[in-house]
Chain A
Amino acid sequence: MGQSSDEALLAGIALGDAAAARDLVRRHQQRVFGLAVAILGDHHAAEDAAQEAFVRAWRRAESFDPRRGSVVTWLLAITRNTAIDALRVRRALPLDPQDLLFSRFASGLGPEDRALAGSDVDRIWMALLDLPAIQRDALLLTAYFGMTASEVAAARAIPLGTAKTRIRDGLRKLRDRLHDEETMT
């Protein structure tokens, strides 16, 4: 089973295959838990959220559509939503989004990162570093913490229109940068 694709494991989970569930958890638990920690800033709450994310993924395994993206990005989107739900209950933003950036480089690349090095993870971080800091900050607040433009405006004491512009311009620039790199490689 170790060689099975994520899609095959997910299909097995939809059919109630416990071994497929175990393999998918082993393959992605560090990434799921890491994202939950990044959003919640608390290992205990992150453990709850990460577990809930896997359960939600299991319940919705049949609805996964490979045309819309990979299993890991789908799983991480579920993790983000689950962690944001928990965050709203706590009503506290534990981290400055720039901390994500610093912890990233402080921890260096792990084995799983190295497997992706030169592809997704490095490219995303290089593209993020290319953004103006104020756009990166607004984009991370929205993409990771689910904050609306109004909430970003309040958190950063800036006009609503400015917050919207930073978020929208940040995402478009990131898309353009990633697209340029794909074109070059």
Chain B
Amino acid sequence: MSVDCDPYRDQLPDLALGVAASDERDALLAHVTGCAHCASELEQLARVVDTLLLAAPPSEPPAGFESGVLRSFSPATTRRPRWRVLAAAAAFVLALGLAAGLARSREQVPSEGVTAGAPPASSEPIVVLTGALLDPEGRAVGQVVAHDDPSWLTVALDPSAPRGSYVVTCDYEAGDSFTAGSLTITDAGPAVWNATVPIALKDLRRVRVVSSRGGPNLEAAIHPL
């Protein structure tokens, strides 16, 4: 440990507990990456936090819990909790509102072959796909909503989403991938990232939000809303 550690060492518990303020978190992570002593202490503290969860009293789940969980292992019959459906619906409505605003302003923002724009008005049945955007610890940091034909993609970000620069990549059922654009999350936002894409999304299975600078990658498994 060196004198350089002093400003950071005190805050390591915040990082281990996942409650470091966003501006502090980036500086802490940068320091820990280059400091073996602080990296070791952070690992110890994080293990204690994980172990602490073992202290919750076990409880017998209701009858049918096991079969309910196992039904969820089949993507075709996944039963999502009501609050998750509500969150997805909220993200969808938010995306529609944002896109409508963009349409009114007639702005088209080019970005690596991708344009921010509006979902089209259509009388056709709406095909909407969605998935919770998870960080490496399985924590939901946003919601992905995709509309097919024509295709647009929305990433609604929670305030807890890790700051950084990312590339948004779509993975398809057949195994091929498509880069939908780039995204930078700062303290100022965006709360919603929206883009139209030139290829169909109905076979979309996963959206990856990959850090450009070695930070945590985010990922959403996609399923019908």
Contacts and interface: CB of A to CB of B under 8 A. Distances in A.
A77 B137 contact: yes
Nearest to A79: B53
A121 interface: yes
Nearest to B90: A89
Contacts of A55: 69, 72-73, 78
Given A144-B56, A167-B14, A82 B138 contact: yes
B55 A124 contact: yes
A65 B59 CA distance: 27
B136 interface: yes
Given A143-B17, A171-B17, A89 B86 contact: yes
Nearest to B87: A89
B81 A51 contact: yes
B62 A43 contact: yes
A98 B201 CA distance: 48
A81 B83 CA distance: 14
Interface in A24-42: 25-26, 29-31, 33-35, 37-39
A51 B13 contact: no
A113 B86 contact: no
A174 interface: yes
Given A56-B138, A81-B139, A100-B55, A30 B73 contact: no
Interface string B25-50: 00000000000000000001101111
Interface in A119-143: 120-121, 124-125, 128, 139, 142-143
Contact of A51 (B53, B69, B86): B69
B70 A18 contact: yes
Contacts of B13: 167-168, 171-172
A81 B70 contact: no
Contacts of A7: none
A182 B99 CA distance: 57
Given A38-B56, A168-B13, A33 B65 contact: yes
Contact of A47 (B44, B51, B61): B61
B50 A77 contact: yes
A66 interface: no
Contacts of B60: 30, 33
B51 A178 contact: yes
B80 interface: yes
Nearest to B47: A69
A148 B19 contact: yes
A110 interface: yes
A143 B53 contact: yes
A35 B56 contact: yes
B68 to A, nearest CB: 6
B58 A51 contact: no
B18 A33 contact: no
A143 B52 contact: yes
A96 interface: no
Interface in B153-201: none
Given A76-B50, A167-B17, A172-B13, A29 B66 contact: yes
B94 interface: no
A168 B14 contact: yes
Given A51-B72, A78-B138, A104 B65 contact: no
Interface of B: 10-11, 13-14, 16-19, 21, 44-45, 47-62, 65-66, 68-70, 72-73, 78-84, 86-87, 132, 134, 136-140, 219, 221
